Amino acid sequence: MLVCQAASATAATSSSAAEPAGLTAPTPDARAWLVVNATTGDVLAHHAEDQEAPIASITKLMTVIVVLQHLKLTQVVRVDPRAAAVGQESIELAPGEEMTVGDLLKGALIQSANDAADALALATAPSFEAFAVMMNDEAKLLGLDHSHFVRPDGLDAPDEYSSARDVTTLAEDAMRDPVIRDTVSQETATISGDRTLHTWNNLLGVVPGVIGVKTGHTSGAGWGQVTAVNANGMRLYVTILGSPSESQRDNDLERLIAYGLAHYRAVDAIATDRDYAKVKLPYGLGPLTLVAKTPLRISVRLGERLTERVVAPTFLEPPIGKGKVLGRVKVYEGTALVGSRVLVASRAVHRAGVAQRVGWYASRTARDLASLFS
C-alpha cells in the first residue's frame, strides 16, 4: 500500500484588519501589571513587569508547587508548633493537630492561610530556611530571574521579592497541575475540623471566565493578584502588584481583563462539515474525502491571519472504515500552533470485487487503445 505523507498550507480568512475602535489601554493604580495571552505569548498590556517587589500570599503558589513534588495529598501532617504560631490569616491550626496534605493545600490556596502554608513547608523541610532553598531552586528552574523567596507564607521579610512577569510565569506553571488548578477554582470548601474555607479571589463566580489563581496582601506588598481567564479556547493571565486597596485591585483587574479580551474574536478554526483532503483510491473507487473528527473554536487576535497545514496520504488501498484516522490538520497564528484535530475517513470504502477490478482494467485498456489510434 502506497502512502505518501503530504503537507500543504492554505491561508484562512483574516480575522480583521484593525484594532477595536476606541480601545485604550487601562492605566491601573498599581506598582506593576501584565496582561498575557498564554496560548500565543502575546503581551497585551504591561508596566514595570520586571520591577522587583514583594508579592505577599501569591508566594503560596511556589510553596504548593514544591510541596507537591515531595508529599502526597493523602499524607497526614502533624502541625509543627512553628506553623501554628504564625499570625494574620489562618485556619487556626493547633500544635500537633493532624491534617492531610490535601486539606492543608486547600487552606493555603483558597483561604490563603499562613499556618496551612507553613505546616506544609515544615512537613517538607526541617526549617523555613531549608524550605526557602527549595523554593529558590525551583525558581531557577522556572526561569524566575527577578524572584527570591524567604518565607513559604509570603509574609513581609527582607530580601523577599518577585515581579509581575515572574508571578505570571509562576501561575502558568502552577495551573499545569490539575490539583492546584481545581483548588484555586473553588470559591468555598470544607476541610477537617469542620472548617469552611472562603476564597479571597473576588472575581471568581463574578467575572465570566475567571478560573483562578491567587491573591496577596501585606502592608509591604499592597494588594496584588494573578488571575487566569479562559475564553473561547484562549487563556489570559492578568497580574497586578502593589495596588492601594482591594477594591481598586479588583476594579483594575476587570478593566485589564476586558481590555485583553477585546483584542480577540472567536472563530471556528476547524469545522466538521468541511473536506480537508481527498485521497485517491484504486479501481475507480475514489476519491475519499477526509473530514475533521471534532471542531476547533479559538480566539484570534484582530488583524492576524490563520494558516492551516494538512498532513494526509495521497493514495490508499481499501478496505477503509468510516471514521478511521488518516491525517491531521494543524492551525497556526503566525508561527504559533494554536490547535489541531485528526482527520478521518468520511465514508467506508470496501475492497473492490473481482468484477469491478476486471471492469476497471478493461475500461483503462480501452482508453489506452483509443488514445493510441487517435
pLDDT tens, residue by residue, 317-359: 889 999 999 999 999 988 888 899 999 999 998 886 655 555 5
Scan for cell 506553571, then name that residue: 173
Query: What was the pLDDT predicted at 12?
Result: 36
Query: What was the pLDDT predicted at 286?
Result: 73
**Which of 14-28, 33-47, 314-328 is predicted with the least confidence, judged by mean pLDDT?**
14-28
Q: Is 356 left (phi over 0), alpha (psi -120 to 50) or beta?
A: alpha
Whole-prediction pTM: 0.82
112-133 average pLDDT score: 98
Interval 250-306: pLDDT, tens: 999 999 999 999 999 989 999 999 999 999 988 777 799 999 999 999 888 888 889
Interval 217-238: pLDDT, tens: 999 999 999 999 999 878 999 9
Q: What is the mean pLDDT of the chain?
A: 90
Contacts 24+ apart (CB under 8 A), 122-129: 122/80, 122/82, 122/83, 123/67, 123/71, 123/75, 123/77, 123/78, 123/80, 124/66, 124/67, 124/70, 124/71, 128/82, 128/152
Name the burial class of residue 172, with classes exposed (0-12), middle (13-18) and buried (19+) by CB atoms within 10 angstroms of its CB: middle
Indicate whether 3 pLDDT > 60: no
Query: What was the pLDDT predicted at 9?
Result: 35
Query: What was the pLDDT predicted at 270?
Result: 95
pLDDT band at residue 157 under the 50/70/90 scheme? very high
Q: What percent of the chain has pLDDT over 70?
A: 88
Query: What was the pLDDT predicted at 28?
Result: 97
Distance, CA of 174 to CA of 172 (rounded, Å): 5
Dihedral sign for Cα atoms in the order 103, 105, 110, 111: positive
Task: State whether residue 168 is helix, strand or coil.
Answer: helix
Most confident of the following: 115-119, 304-308, 312-316: 115-119
Query: What was the pLDDT predicted at 301?
Result: 87
Interval 166-185: pLDDT, tens: 999 999 999 999 999 999 99
Please identify, in words, the CATH class of the domain defined by 5-15+267-354. Answer: mainly beta
116-132 average pLDDT score: 98
Query: What was the pLDDT predicted at 72?
Result: 98
Query: What was the pLDDT predicted at 15?
Result: 36
Indicate whether 362 pLDDT > 80: no
Q: Where are the domains of the chain?
A: 5-15+267-354, 32-243
Query: What was the pLDDT predicted at 350?
Result: 85
Same fold, 5-15+267-354 and 32-243: no
CA dist 10 → 7, 302, 309, 331, 342 (Å) = 10, 19, 7, 10, 17
Nearest by Cα to 42 from 300, 340, 224 = 300
Indicate whether 6 pLDDT > 70: no
| Strand 325-333, strand 306-313: pairing | antiparallel
Indicate whether 1 pLDDT > 50: no
Indicate whether 52 pLDDT > 70: yes
pLDDT band at residue 101 under the 50/70/90 scheme? very high
Distance, CA of 47 to CA of 49 (rounded, Å): 5
CATH assignment, 32-243 = 3.40.710.10
Dihedral sign for Cα atoms in the order 132, 134, 140, 142: negative
Query: What was the pLDDT predicted at 217?
Result: 98
309's grid cell: 497545514
Indicate whether 368 pLDDT > 80: no
Residue type, 172: E
Phi, psi angle pair for 167, to nearest 5°? -60, -40
Distance, CA of 243 to CA of 228 (rounded, Å): 18
Residue 229: alpha-carbon gap to chain centroid: 9
Indicate whether 18 pLDDT > 90: no
